[in-house]
């Protein structure tokens, strides 16, 4: 009922000619996101279902992964809601790490969790997605639904097409994701809608320590690339961290 009412309101706005003014609303979400997140340092985006309760094994696994990442100096970015998002924010917040929630206005399921040290709220999914990607050194996808798949495949597409710098795309939960990977190999690869190398862009694991190891290796690679480029351009390399890395 609530969703139907909201759709009706949106349609009325369209009839009133409000489309142009939406540009300014969209711009404000980008501006706020850039201003608020530009100083969070190295970060990892963690995705997964909002429906897992606190005693669920995937909730506990997400919290453990976020804990290890926080102890390795990473800020955790989530969608700010319950379930896996809460678990990841909790793991970060309880272990001295930055805990960012990029909340979205939805008719159900989205209720901000209390473990966010920095909280933003978006109306538009696409603006929110930019923030997930722009400030992340890696993507960790726990078991989840359509939203999780949406975030994962969009990032995968951007990396595949070289629209963003490469970053680790990690699926956690072999039991949950294995059939998807098998389908990619048996159908997409067979029909040549993807290349075999595209599958190499995806890592799958059950081990929290392996998640951290993959992301640390990427961080070290990125830092090396930045230093090499700075040296080539004759730019003095500062001591300590470079651009939050």
E-state strands within 29-135:
43-47, 75-78, 99-104, 118-122
pTM of this structure: 0.88
At 36-53, the pLDDT tens digits run 999 999 999 999 999 999
Report the pLDDT value the prediction gives residue 5, as an integer from 0 to 100.
44
Report the pLDDT value the prediction gives residue 236, as an integer from 0 to 100.
79
Please name the fold of domain 27-232. Answer: Rossmann fold (3.40.50)
Domain boundary assignment for the chain = 27-232
Report the pLDDT value the prediction gives residue 110, as an integer from 0 to 100.
66
Report the pLDDT value the prediction gives residue 140, as an integer from 0 to 100.
98
Check if the beta carbon of residue 46 is closer than 8 Å to that of residue 62: yes
Report the pLDDT value the prediction gives residue 234, as an integer from 0 to 100.
87
Cα atoms in the Cβ-side hemisphere of radius 13 Å centred on 24 = 3
Distance, CA of 238 to CA of 228 (rounded, Å): 13
Report the pLDDT value the prediction gives residue 14, as an integer from 0 to 100.
57
Report the pLDDT value the prediction gives residue 226, as an integer from 0 to 100.
87
* Three-class SS state of 76: strand
Report the pLDDT value the prediction gives residue 2, as an integer from 0 to 100.
43
Give the chain's residues under pLDDT 50.
1-3, 5
DSSP string, 118-176: EEEEES-HHHHHHHHHHT-SEEEE-S--HHHHHHHHHHHHHHHTTSS----EEEE-HHH
């Amino acid at each position: 009922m609530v969703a139907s009412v909201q759709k009706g309101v949106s349609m009325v706005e369209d009839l009133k000619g409000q489309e142009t003014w939406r540009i300014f609303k969209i711009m404000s979400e980008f501006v706020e996101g850039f201003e608020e997140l530009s100083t969070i340092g190295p970060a990892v985006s963690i995705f997964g279902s909002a429906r897992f309760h606190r005693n669920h094994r995937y909730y506990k696994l997400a919290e453990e992964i976020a804990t290890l990442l926080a102890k390795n100096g990473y800020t955790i970015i989530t969608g700010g809601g319950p379930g896996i998002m809460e678990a990841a924010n909790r793991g970060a917040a309880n272990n001295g790490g930055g805990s960012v929630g990029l909340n979205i206005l939805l008719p159900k399921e989205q209720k901000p969790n209390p473990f966010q040290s920095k909280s933003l709220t978006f109306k538009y999914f696409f603006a929110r997605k930019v923030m997930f990607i722009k400030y992340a050194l890696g993507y960790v996808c726990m078991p989840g639904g359509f939203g999780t798949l949406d975030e994962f495949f969009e990032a995968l597409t951007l990396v595949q097409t070289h629209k963003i710098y490469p970053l680790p795309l990690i699926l956690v939960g072999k039991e949950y994701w294995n059939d998807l990977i098998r389908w990619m190999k048996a159908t997409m690869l067979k029909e040549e809608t993807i290349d075999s190398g595209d599958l190499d862009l995806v890592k799958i694991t059950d081990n929290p320590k392996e998640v951290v190891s993959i992301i640390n290796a990427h961080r070290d690679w990125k830092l090396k690339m930045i230093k090499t480029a700075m040296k080539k351009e004759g730019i003095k390399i500062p001591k300590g961290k470079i651009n939050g890395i």
